[in-house]
Chains A and B, each alone.
Chain A
Amino acid sequence: MLEIENLTHAYGSGPLIVGGIDLRVEAGELVSIVGPSGCGKSTLLRCIAGLQRPSGGLVTKDGKVVEQVPDDLAVVFQDYSRSLFPWLSVRDNVALPLRRRGLKRAARHEAADQALESVGLAEAGSKYPWQLSGGMQQRASIARALAYRPTLLIMDEPFGSVDAQTREDLEDLLLSVRGNGGMTILLVTHDIDESVYVGDRVVVLTKSPTRVRADLRVGLPAKRDQITTRGLPEFVHLRAEVGRLVRGIGTPVQSAS
């Protein structure tokens, strides 16, 4: 579905940020990406999304080289509050991308309301983004991406500002989306437990100029829940492993490739 070959990037004449990434993602996979703060995770995602032309290397989606933003893509940006349009209501924000789907106004609003409900924002549709808390804004931008039903969903630390309970709900929402949508998902997170809980694979990046340090397959059952899954020996083992790798200790493993 997605193939990244020797991707490198430097902003202008600045230092190399992305130092050569190779990654293959199958259709329907959810790949968690973790790495030290500032290592270039957002930069990597922007290159994959076609928003930033990489300095070197190749991104291929469904056999086509990504030169512009590919069709059927949605991004949940790390800076969620700036990515919502303040002049539109929350419902209109969520509904706007659906114009690209050729939906009529009523259909757009229905889809938007449905998506808002799925992230627990059923009541907020007619409010404006700046009338919502940070966590609610973040959920609104997740709803916008989900309503669009992309084949590739890119999420950059999408649960950073929500409370613990909502975070668990959103993680489960993501698992259910992956289960029945055939959506391929790249999720950048700084929460190691989360990367294991929702992921089919966990990709650990090195510090900048970033490379793939490890690519671990998550051997957990497809059906997961917050209580049981987090208690499984495989979960406990993996999170310790990922934790060591992120901190730069432990042997790099390439179990997934």
Chain B
Amino acid sequence: MRKIQIVRGTIGVAGAVAVAELASRSGLVDPAALPAASTVLQRAAELTVDGEFLADVTDTLKAWLGGLALATLIALAAGLALGSTPWLGRASRIVVEFMRPIPSVALIPLAIVTFSSATQSKMALVCYAATWPILINTLYALRDVDPLAKETLRSFGFGPAAVLLRVNLPSIAPFVATGVRISASVGLVVVISTELVAGGEGIGSYLTETQSGGGRPDLMLAGAVWAGVLGLLINAVLVAAERRAFRWHTVRTGASA
């Protein structure tokens, strides 16, 4: 099953690269605007030893990780507080559903004027965007914790704190992890978008710089390739971590592929 997926994926990527290569070489598109795929891949390989680019990647990842970690803490704390008080939870769900669709990219100008440093703005925006998926998953998962599991612990004389720690948290953990994974992808989009607009350091800024003044489309696309690869890697690592940590959940729900 997994092997077939990998083979299919590889064929798909190879096919896309071949089409892009052909489009450029045949003169279908202007090679100055869209360099041959082979050239882009070669530049991408060269970027792995380009100190400046690596510093940009580090910067992007730092802002991303900081914002994501902060969002996880905030969403989990808020989710537990809202989920443990039924009326507060009901009231807050409406607010959450209303706030969530606000695209965080629309808040970039606000973040720029609010925070003095570019890193802070990026982190704040990632944090804002990443909070919602985690918060919503936490709220819904808390609502669905099996009452009999809680009752079992209570029947042995455990108090509310123990129920929270030993039943609620383990029950919601897989759903929170899924929220974190969704937020991780969203956060990467947000951090790079912010860099595109606000400048400073980071992959987004690298893309703007290589694009400006005639520019180097080969380098720009090589940078974009790495942004894509980062997204894929992050997702793959998180999926693997979830599978490992929550085997009891995937097996029971039959969600294991």
Contact = CB atoms under 8 A, between A and B. Distances in A.
A77 interface: yes
A73 B152 CA distance: 11
Interface stretch (B108-116, B154-162, B216-224): B154-162
A85 B150 CA distance: 10
Contact of A87 (B151, B157, B170): B170
A47 to B, nearest CB: 13
Interface residue range, chain A: 20 to 34
B156 A130 contact: no
Interface in B237-254: 248-249, 251-252
B149 A83 contact: yes
Interface string A77-106: 101001101110000000011001000000
B152 A69 contact: no
B182 interface: no
A235 interface: no
Contacts of B171: 87
Contact of A79 (B148, B153, B157): B148
Contacts of A86: 248-249, 252
A49 interface: yes
Interface in A61-81: 69-75, 77, 79
A71 B155 contact: no
A159 interface: no
A69 B167 contact: no
B148 to A, nearest CB: 4
A72 B167 CA distance: 21
Given A77-B148, A82-B146, A83-B149, A51 B154 contact: yes
Q: Is the interface of A mostly helix, strand, loop or mixed?
A: loop
Contacts of A85: 149, 152, 166-167, 170
Nearest to B247: A128
Contacts of A148: 156
Interface string B121-154: 0000000000000000000000000101101111
Given A82-B148, A130-B248, A73 B167 contact: no
A77 B252 contact: no
Contacts of A49: 155
Interface in B80-116: none
A77 B154 CA distance: 12
B155 to A, nearest CB: 4
B244 to A, nearest CB: 13
A79 B154 CA distance: 16
Contact of A83 (B152, B157, B249): B152
A100 B251 contact: no
Contacts of B251: 130
B70 to A, nearest CB: 27
Contacts of B153: 96
Contacts of B158: 97, 100
B252 A130 contact: yes
A97 B156 CA distance: 6
B156 A74 contact: yes
A97 B166 CA distance: 11
A56 B151 CA distance: 21
A96 B166 contact: yes
Contacts of A100: 156-158
Contacts of A77: 148, 151-152, 155
B155 A73 contact: yes
A96 B155 CA distance: 12
Given A74-B155, A87-B170, A100-B157, A82 B149 contact: yes
Contacts of A51: 151, 154-155
Contacts of B167: 85
A137 to B, nearest CB: 13
A75 B152 CA distance: 8
What 4 A-B pairs are tightest by C-beta distance, nearest first? A97-B156, A75-B155, A83-B152, A82-B148
21 contacts: A51-B151, A51-B154, A70-B157, A72-B157, A74-B155, A74-B156, A77-B148, A77-B155, A83-B151, A85-B152, A85-B166, A85-B170, A87-B170, A87-B249, A96-B153, A100-B156, A100-B157, A100-B158, A128-B248, A130-B248, A130-B251
Interface of B: 146, 148-149, 151-158, 166-167, 170-171, 173, 248-249, 251-252
Given A73-B155, A73-B156, A87-B249, 19 more contacts: A51-B151, A51-B155, A70-B157, A73-B157, A74-B155, A77-B148, A82-B146, A82-B149, A83-B148, A83-B149, A85-B149, A86-B248, A86-B249, A87-B173, A96-B153, A96-B156, A96-B166, A130-B251, A130-B252
